Amino acid sequence: MSKPGAPEPAAPEPAAPEPAAPPQVLFVCLGNICRSPTAEGVFRQRLAARGLQDRIGVDSCGTAGWHVGKSPDPRSTDAARVRGYDISTLRARQLQWEDYYSFDYLLAMDESNLDVLRREAPVDYAGHIGLFLEFAADSPVLEVPDPYYGSGDGFVRVLELVEAASEGLIEELLQRA
Ligand code: 4NP
């Protein structure tokens, strides 16, 4: 308490709000050597092109562990390079429990991997679990087809689809920021 007649002490300044942590996005496919590393590479480059690389975090993984530690499939690396993306330094890893505590958006390439993400999720997971292509405006499909056992065309198709969804996802994240 202050002395009678003394000026009242100034009320403490309200604490400045903590800056929001950058949203973290995890792309998820089966093996983490074709679709999700392609999505990661495309999305990273699109973020960098807009100067947003420090405002949105990105990673990728597979629900299966068969290719852990491996580089992307050379067909994915080559198809990406032709369109100006370098995904050669990425390495496959498997989905981990901790990912639910680190990522705000868990984006599956297809329904089967979406099922895994939902099934494994902690009951209190408060982030977004969905299909990546839900962010692709006017996309005729919602799944990125698995190109692993198919022809080279499938790898180009993956790129087309993830490019379209990347733009939509960036717009969504900017609106939420
Ligand atoms: P991804 O493709 O899930 O897009 O990485 C696949 C990679 C490997 C296998 C299947 C799909 N595999 O059966 O080994």
Please provide residue 26's backbone torsions phi and psi, each rounded to the nearest 5 degrees. Answer: -120, 120
Nearest C-alpha neighbor of 28 from the set 124, 131, 101: 131
- Ligand 1 atom nearest residue 35's Cα: 4
Distance separating alpha carbons of residues 177 and 175, to the nearest angstrom = 6
Can 83 be counted among the known catalytic residues? no
Distance separating alpha carbons of residues 64 and 159, to the nearest angstrom = 22
In CATH terms, the fold of domain 24-169 is Rossmann fold (3.40.50)
- Tell me if the pTM is above 0.85: yes
For residue 30, the CA-to-ligand 1 centroid distance in Å is: 5
Distance separating alpha carbons of residues 172 and 76, to the nearest angstrom = 27
Which protein residue's CA is at the shortest distance from atom 9 of ligand 1?
31
Residue-level pLDDT, tens digit, the chain, 177 residues: 445 666 676 777 777 767 679 999 999 999 999 999 999 999 999 999 999 999 999 999 999 999 999 999 999 999 999 999 999 999 999 999 999 999 999 999 999 999 999 999 999 999 999 999 999 998 999 999 999 999 889 999 999 999 999 999 999 999 988
Distance separating alpha carbons of residues 41 and 57, to the nearest angstrom = 12
Which protein residue's CA is at the shortest distance from atom 6 of ligand 1?
31
